[in-house]
């Protein structure tokens, strides 16, 4: 079957760094997406990885290891507005996204 | 303003009633999707369409139907609503539905079936 594992909730301090891990099992693999979702709002695209390694985009970076079925999202210089849920979504052999339940990130002053 | 719109924003519906959720995009994207999101669960795909005139079933299609008469519109119909269909429904679109294809989401419809 297809499965995504992410921590349910994490807490971090403003200005710090946090790493959100995601492990996945899918039928085939065609890249992995990270989305951000603020409470009561729609998911918005953050990053996409298809090859192994680190993709950096400003304060956010995403890493992928296809052999380990593992990805992480790294958020630096945390700001209060980063309080949100972060959704890991690998894409399977049919190019369908398989969504994790998301990690709720709480930022404290 | 380019993007995806959904209507209604929220709705309370009696069980057994028919309901159509509307979704319109003006980005000329080929692919469109309907998801439901329930507390503690990931987004689950209901139906999708890779191009106008074609549709496909997702992970949880039972009780729902869709049509794709043109590129812009992708309505989702609940023929006879049941309480288990209480959820937040998101419509999304992407340029092609393949390769490095980012999905863009509408604001969602919060549906309560009593």
Q: What is the residue-level pLDDT of chain A in tens, covering all 109 positions?
A: 788 999 999 999 999 999 999 999 999 999 999 999 999 999 999 999 999 999 999 999 999 999 999 999 999 999 999 999 999 999 998 888 999 899 999 999 9
Which backbone phi and psi does B32 adopt, to 5 degrees?
Answer: -140, 155
Q: Average pLDDT in the B36-65 region?
A: 94
Measure the CA–CA gap between A90 and A86, rounded to whole angstroms.
13
Q: Is the dihedral of CA B52, B57, B59, B60 positive or negative?
A: positive
CB contact under 8 A, B42 and A48: no
CB contact under 8 A, A99 and B42: yes
Residues of A in contact with B48 (CB under 8 A): 96
Residue A92 C-alpha, separation from nearest chain B C-alpha, in angstroms: 11
Total beta-carbon pairs less than 8 A apart between chain A and chain B? 46
Structure tokens at B21: 């959720």
Nearest CA among B77, B76, B98 for reference residue B29:
B98
The pLDDT value given to residue B38: 95
Residues of A in contact with B58 (CB under 8 A): 96
Q: Which residues contact A10 (CB under 8 A, 6 or more apart)?
A: A18, A20, A103, A104, A105, A106
């Amino acid at each position: 079957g297809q499965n995504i594992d992410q921590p349910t909730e994490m807490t971090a301090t403003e200005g710090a760094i946090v790493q959100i891990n995601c492990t996945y099992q899918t039928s085939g693999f065609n890249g992995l997406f990270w989305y951000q979702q603020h409470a009561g709002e729609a998911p918005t695209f953050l990053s996409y990885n298809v090859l192994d390694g680190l993709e950096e985009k400003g304060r956010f970076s995403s890493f992928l290891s296809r052999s380990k079925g593992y990805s992480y999202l790294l958020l630096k210089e945390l700001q209060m507005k980063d309080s949100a849920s972060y959704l890991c979504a690998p894409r399977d052999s049919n190019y369908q996204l398989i969504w994790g339940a998301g990690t709720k990130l709480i930022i404290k002053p | 303003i380019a993007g995806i719109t959904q209507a209604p924003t929220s709705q309370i519906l009696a069980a057994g009633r028919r309901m159509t959720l509307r979704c319109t995009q003006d980005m000329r994207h080929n692919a469109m999707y309907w998801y439901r999101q329930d507390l503690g669960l990931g987004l689950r795909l209901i139906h999708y369409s890779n191009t106008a005139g074609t549709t496909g079933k997702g992970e949880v299609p039972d009780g729902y139907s869709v049509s794709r008469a043109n590129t812009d519109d992708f309505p989702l119909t609940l023929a006879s609503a049941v309480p288990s269909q209480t959820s937040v429904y998101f419509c999304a679109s992407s340029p092609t539905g393949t390769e490095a294809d980012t999905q863009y989401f509408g604001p969602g419809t919060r549906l309560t079936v009593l």
